[in-house]
Structures are given as C-alpha cells and as structure tokens.
Structure 1
Amino acid sequence: MGLKIAIQGIRGSNHHQVVKEYFGDTVELAECLSFDTLVDKLLDKSVDKGVMAIENSIAGSIIPNYALVYHNNLHIIGEHYLNIHHNLMALKGQTIADIEEVRSHPMALLQCKVFLKKHPHIKLVEDVDTAETAKRIHELKLKGVAAIAPAVAAALYGLDVIAPEIQTIKNNATRFIIVKTQNKVLPLSEINKASLRFVTDHKRGSLATVLNVMSDCNLNLTKIQSLPIIETPWKYAFFVDVTFDQYDYFEKAKSLLQIMSEDFKVLGEYKNARL
C-alpha cells in the first residue's frame, strides 16, 4: 500500500497542489476540512504524513498551527513553498455581472481585497476551503455564486474562470510543512534547517541572549514567532526557524539553548527548501 497523506481541504486546493509537487501523483489523499482533523488522523495512524500551511508571504503566520505541532508532539520532516494563484470561478456561462456573492477561505478573500473592492455589489462570505467551495458550486449548480480557488479546481469541478490571477500582490507564496508523528532520520550532512520552540524568563535581555547564542554558533534566524502560553498569563513561547551550513553548528547551539532557555524543544530537523 502506498503513502497516505492528510491535507487541509480537498482535491483542487493549494494543499493538494503541494502533495502533487512534493510526493508526486501516486499517493493516497485524506481530505480534512480542518487542521485539527488532520492532526487527529496522524495521531490515530490512519495516515502516514500531513501537509500543513504554516505562513504566507503577505498574511504572515498561521499561528494556531504552531501550537498544533507542539502540543501534539508532531515532527516537521520537510517544507515546501508554493506560489499562490487566486482565480474567480463560477458555473459555465456566468459573468462577473451575474455574481452576487463570493465564497472562499478568509485568507483568499483577504489576499484579493483590491480586486473585490472594485465590485462592491458582490457580498463576501467566508468558507472553510477554496476548492471545497468550487466543488459545492458545481454539485448544487449555484448560480450567482463564485469561488476564489486555484485554476486546477475550475478544471476538476467544471467551472469557468471569470477573472484569473486576482490576488493583490502577484508575488504571493505560502510555506507548507510536512509533518509526521515520528522524526524522519536524514543523514546529518543533508540537514540544514531546524524549527525550535523555547520559553525565556522575564529577565531583561533574556531573548537577546538566546538570539546572540544562535548568531555566535553561525545559525541564520529565518523566522521568529511568539505565542502566549495560555496556562501562564503574560508568558510567551518562541517558535524559531534557523538555517545553518554545518550540522555541527546547530548541535553546539542546541546544547547551549537547552541550558539557557526553558522547555526547549526541537520541532524538526530537515532540508531547507529555499536552496
């Protein structure tokens, strides 16, 4: 039996596109309408791996997903960057003048704000997924309703693209992480990126000291995201991505950070997809 991969969304979504590019076309897909469901499928071992969006170049971090990875003890085993293309699609024969409402994922609506403002007659409705909305328009033959989704969704569900490439910023990319319940052991020579989570105390300069250690160990900080610790008001955990030329550099930093910070945890060691 082949690999089974869980995605947030359905066939025709950006998550599906990442699976095609990262794993190829031979894997089995498990469609999930929420990231929580995706994690549940990983934990009950009904899938092998999951694909989760983690940050967008325009809208920033998908913060709840950092907490999902940490609290469910998932391991990041890889990453993939996808250029995002938003297209307005509807039943065949419809024009933009026929459209009364646009339904899509809140992130897609946000990223097409300028285009949508030019059509004030169209009501904006938030939905769970881009491709799922396209599928529903097709199945229920919804007239006057359009979806914002990848072009592949229009082909899959027999819709017309009535306005292509409507994203406000054309250079729009999302970073996805590949997650698993166990760490994937790569040869150390291939590992050049890591995701970490730690907590610092309230002493002045404690975060700066940690960041200095990373710098002294030749780590390049590519991402830092703070997240409140719900059980302890006004205390924050930091989620950090670092890249490095040699695993030895990271190993040295790891041993120091374990001593210098609280609740230090490596969320994943993997290949940098930007190289």
Structure 2
Amino acid sequence: MTLKIAIQGIRGSNHHQVALDYFGNDIELAECLSFDALVQQLLEAKADQGVMAIENSIAGSIIPNYALLYQNALHIVGEHYLNIHHHLMVLKGRQLSDIREVSSHPMALLQCKEYFKNFPNIRLVEDVDTAETAKRIKEQGLGHVAAIAPKVAAELYGLDIVADNIQTIKNNATRFIIVRTKNKVLPRKEINKASLRFITDHKRGSLATVLNVMSDCNLNLTKIQSLPIMETPWKYAFFVDVTFDAYHDFDKAKKLLDIMSENFTILGEYKNAMR
C-alpha cells in the first residue's frame, strides 16, 4: 500500500525533498500550503504521516509548530536533517537583469537577505512556499519574477537557475520531524532520542531540578524551548529533546519527571538522525 505523506508546500519544496529522502519515491503527496492544513490532513485520516519543519540552524525554532504538535496530540516517529540550498530561478531564457521581484517563503528570503543588498531595485515579496512561486512563474509566464527554491523545483517546473547557493550562511540545515496521529512503536534498542513537554512550578530552581534529573539519568539535553501557556499568563511549558545511549536510563527519567513536573507528555520516542 502506497503511503500518503502530508507536506507543507508543494512538489519541489524542501518538505517534498525530505519526504523522498525519508520514505523513498513510492509515495503519494498531500500538498498543504500551511502547517495547520498539514495537521488537518492527519486528523481527518487523509494522510498517513506528515513531514514538518521544526527548527533551522540559522533562524531557530518554528515555535507555532510546537504548539500544533501538543494541541493535536501528534506523535513524532522520526526526524531528518536537510542541508538547505537556496537557488535563484527564472523563466527559461530570462536573465537576472530582467528581474524586478523575487518571491519566496519568508524564511528563504531571510536566509538570502545579504545577497539582495547588491540588487536594491529588486523587490522581495513573501509568499506561502518556495516551490509554489516557481510553479506560478512557469504557469503564468512571469518574466519579471524570480523564485528562491531548491534545485528540484527548477527541474520540475523547467526554470533556469541564474544564481546558485545564495543563502548567506552556507552551513544551513533544517531539522524536520515525521509525525502521525498514532505512535509508531519501535524496539527499545532502536530508540535513542525523545521529545518531551512539561510544566514546572513557579518556584526558584524548579527548572534546574528537572534538568538535573535528566543529567543524573544520563540524558543529553539537545534542545529546550519555552512556550507561553495562553490560559495561564506568565506561565510556560517547556519542550525538550533528549538523547541517550540506553533506554532504561530514559525509562527511569520518565518516571521521575512525571512526578516532578506538571502535564508531563512524551511527544515522541524515535531514532536520532544525527548518528
């Protein structure tokens, strides 16, 4: 049975590339122009799994996605790191000198900002997706518009790349998580990373105590992100990623954290893609 994978964006986007890297070519895509739409595809069982960007090595965390995960009880079942390469592409036969506007996802524009300081006459316009702009240039014959998108988008939509790797920082990677509505139970010996959410008391040292428990249980904290709890002003939930060598260390930590924190939730147990 062919898996249906929900992605943010369309064919030719970075999410599409991750879906291909992680699941292979034998998949069906559910193209979504927002992360909310992606989640809805999963909740309505219109897609089996989803690919969701969660953080970038330059721009940091995509904070709303943490809330989407928790509020919709999604499970992280895997992760994938993608080196991001931004290319400037135009309608076939056009040159950079023809371009008056560059349209792309806000994150792509942010990561290529320095490049466009040399082109003050080019207007930067935010769009919903990198590949969607590339597709629109082809379909509408937009000779004055360029897109910032992955190389696969130029190949899919028949565009010319007029500038390669225009991102400011060349070592630019995004972490993507693989999500679904039900947990995928892996053998314990294969699990070496987990994503957690918890709330601590409004007391001095509460967070430090929880972090010390993780350290005492041989967990390596690789990520911590706080997010306001809307129903309770000035109170925060913490989202953390931890890695470990032995599952029994994590098992011990889970039991302690469940006692020592509020609303302790395991968002996912999976394989560390950095190994």
SS of equivalent to 2:208: helix
State the match for 1:104 in structure 2. Answer: 104
State the match for 1:39 in structure 2. Answer: 39
1:158-177 CA-partner distances (Å, limit 9, x unpaired): 11001111000111000000
State the match for 2:225 in structure 1. Answer: 225
1:203-240 CA-partner distances (Å, limit 9, x unpaired): 00100000000000000000000000011110000000
SS of equivalent to 1:174: strand
CA distance in 2, matches of 1:235, 1:3: 40
SS of equivalent to 1:230: coil
CA distance in 1, matches of 2:119, 2:239: 39
CA distance in 1, matches of 2:51, 2:20: 11
CA distance in 2, matches of 1:28, 1:91: 28
State the match for 1:119 in structure 2. Answer: 119
Which amino acid is the alignment partner of residue 177 of structure 1? I
CA distance in 2, matches of 1:225, 1:44: 29
State the match for 1:78 in structure 2. Answer: 78
Q: How does 1:1-275 map to 2 (within 5 A)?
A: 1-275=1-275
Which amino acid is the alignment partner of residue 196 of structure 1? L
SS of equivalent to 1:256: helix
Which amino acid is the alignment partner of residue 147 of structure 1? A
CA distance in 1, matches of 2:72, 2:144: 42
Please state how far the C-alpha of 1:142 moved relative to its aligned partner: 0.6
CA distance in 2, matches of 1:128, 1:67: 20
Please state how far the C-alpha of 1:118 moved relative to its aligned partner: 1.1
CA distance in 1, matches of 2:48, 2:129: 22
Which amino acid is the alignment partner of residue 265 of structure 1? T
SS of equivalent to 1:53: strand
Count of residues in correspondence between the two structures: 275
* Structure 1 residues without counterparts, runs of 5 or longer: none
Range with greater deviation from structure 2 (53-62 or 94-103): 94-103
CA distance in 1, matches of 2:97, 2:143: 12
1:78-125 CA-partner distances (Å, limit 9, x unpaired): 000000000000101211111101000000000001101111110000
CA distance in 2, matches of 1:202, 1:183: 32
TM-score (normalised: structure 1): 0.99
CA-based RMSD: 0.5
CA distance in 2, matches of 1:145, 1:135: 12
SS of equivalent to 2:124: strand
Range with greater deviation from structure 2 (88-97 or 171-180): 88-97
Q: Percent identity?
A: 77
CA distance in 2, matches of 1:144, 1:151: 20
TM-score (normalised: structure 2): 0.99
Q: Please list every run of at least 4 consecutive aligned residues from structure 1 whose deviation after the TM superposition is greater than 4 angstroms.
A: none
CA distance in 2, matches of 1:51, 1:267: 15
SS of equivalent to 2:131: helix
SS of equivalent to 1:10: coil
CA distance in 1, matches of 2:76, 2:60: 19
Please state how far the C-alpha of 1:13 moved relative to its aligned partner: 0.2
